[in-house]
Structure 1
Amino acid sequence: MRCTQCDGADLEPGFIEDNGEASQGYGRWIPGPLERGIFGGARRMGKPRWIIDAFRCTRCSHLELFVRPKD
């Protein structure tokens, strides 16, 4: 993989932390537009969730984000 900003070849793996209430400690991506429920939170029921993998370019610090199905 290469950085899409500076074409650097050294991408450091990491992840996006989610430390909200009842979180599992990592960020997730959900397809479709954001829909809010009656209490203002995001409606997620029945939608697939994808784990976000993040890679930081060590040259310019740009983040590249990719998703993968939850294991």
Structure 2
Amino acid sequence: MSQLVCPKCGNAMEIGFVVDHTHGGYAASEWAEGTVQPSFWTGVKVSGKERHPIQTFRCVRCGYLESYARSE
């Protein structure tokens, strides 16, 4: 992917990821198809749903975040 430019202020954006706090650890966020369905055991149901890792870019000047769900 070519260098992204911030749509808010026009400066450069750097790649990163959003961290999810889990029970005793950390994980990178994923995009999942459909609506949220609560689960007593796991928090939300994701079994059988299409999921994609999320790539997030942050503007180095204003902090604006832009995320993309990439197919692997």
Same fold (TM over 0.5): yes
Please, which runs of 5 or more residues in structure 2 have no aligned partner?
none
TM-score with structure 2 length normalisation?
0.76
Please, which runs of 5 or more residues in structure 1 have no aligned partner?
none
Cα pair 2:55 2:69 within 8 Å, conserved = yes
Shift of 1:67: 1.1
Residues 1-71 of structure 1 mapped to structure 2, 5 A cutoff: 1-8=4-11, 10-21=12-23, 25-37=27-39, 39=40, 41-69=43-71, 71=72
Question: Which consecutive segments of 4 or more residues in structure 1 shift more than 3 A?
Answer: 21-24
Tell me: CA distance 1:63–1:53, structure 2 relative to 1, closer, same or farther (3 Å).
same
TM-score with structure 1 length normalisation?
0.77
Distance 2:26 2:51 in 1: 12
1:1-53, Cα deviation, whole Å (9 max, x unpaired)? 22122232x1111111123138673111112111112x172111100111111
**What is the root-mean-square deviation of aligned Cα atoms in Å?**
2.1
Cα pair 2:37 2:44 within 8 Å, conserved = yes
The structure with the largest strand share of the pair is: 2
Identity of aligned residues (%): 32
